[in-house]
Amino acid sequence: MQRFSRRLVSSAFIGAAMFVSLPATGVAQSGQAVVIPAVPALVTSGQVETKVAPDRASLLVNVQTRGATAASAASENAQKTRAVLDALAKLGLPREQLGTEGYTVYPELRYDKDGGSPRVTGYVVTNTVKAETHRVEQAGAMIDAALGAGANLINSLSFYASSIDTPRREAIVAAVASARADAEAMARAAGGSLGGLLEMSTQGPTAPPRPMYDMAMMRGKAAQAEPTPVNPGLQTVTVFVTARWQFVPGR
């Protein structure tokens, strides 16, 4: 699904004289500078946005456990993480689309109000699991499966398009047409006509960062009966072009 929208970008008219020194022949032998008029030019820009339906989803979930020792917390974490991975695999996700994004172990400290050195009261182990799917409609089911299997923190959910080449090139065509229409209007307003294209470029990012939803939340097993609704929306691809055209003065 693709939708185009045009945004008018400021355009500028350039018609300047360029001063150069000719080689040591003719008039230039006297050392005098010769003024050579530059070709009048028009510079215009065009910007187009197109909407693309995402076809990929990426989910980050945490399995966090606590224990009196680092080993006990890690052992419990390993069991719950394995259960989360198995639950996600049952949705049809290949193992290569499941992986560990991060792993941390740190002590929990208690500080006495009277001062002194802090005491270790336990250890926290966090395993961050990343799951990717090529079916964006699975995102809600992935969240429910992970939470139901023992994950207790959802870091983020993001959607993106695997390829934007085709919509990007279609947007380039529209952006160039917009820049040319501006140039033709400027040329007519200045009493002349539009000449040939002298230079053209496209720049800037063509797509923003992946749309990401912060879902840092915990949910108990009792709340798993209602499926999680998720709407991926559309991804915006932006194209910006700048063009320089020859201006032909009227007679």
What are the sequence ranges of the domains in the chain?
4-52+165-206+239-249, 56-160
Nearest residue to 149 via CA among 85, 210, 205, 197: 85
0.75 exceeded by pTM: no
Q: What is the pLDDT of residue 222?
A: 42
Q: What is the pLDDT along the chain (251 residues), one digit of tens a residue?
A: 555 554 433 343 333 323 233 343 445 555 667 665 677 999 999 999 999 999 999 999 999 999 999 999 999 999 999 999 999 999 999 989 999 999 999 999 998 887 778 899 999 999 999 999 999 999 999 999 999 999 999 999 999 999 999 999 999 999 999 999 999 999 999 999 999 999 999 975 555 555 555 555 555 444 456 788 888 889 999 999 999 999 999 87
pLDDT for the residue numbered 26:
42
Instruction: Return the amino acid letter for 224.
Output: Q
d(CA 138, CA 52): 18
Exposed / middle / buried, residue 100 (Cβ in 10 Å: 0-12, 13-18, 19+): exposed
Q: Got the DSSP string for 38-104?
A: PPPEEEEEEEEEEEE---EEEEEEEEEEEESSHHHHHHHHHHHHHHHHHHHHTTT--GGGEEEEEEE
pLDDT in the model for residue 146: 96
Q: Which residues contact 168 (CB under 8 A, 6 or more apart)?
A: 50, 206, 207, 237, 239
Is the CATH number 3.30.70.2970 carried by domain 56-160? Answer: yes
pLDDT score recorded for residue 4: 52
Is domain 4-52+165-206+239-249 classified as CATH 3.30.420? no
Residue type, 194: L
Answer yes or no: are the C-beta atoms of 99 and 130 closer than 8 Å. Answer: yes
Name the helix (H) or strand (E) containing 151.
none
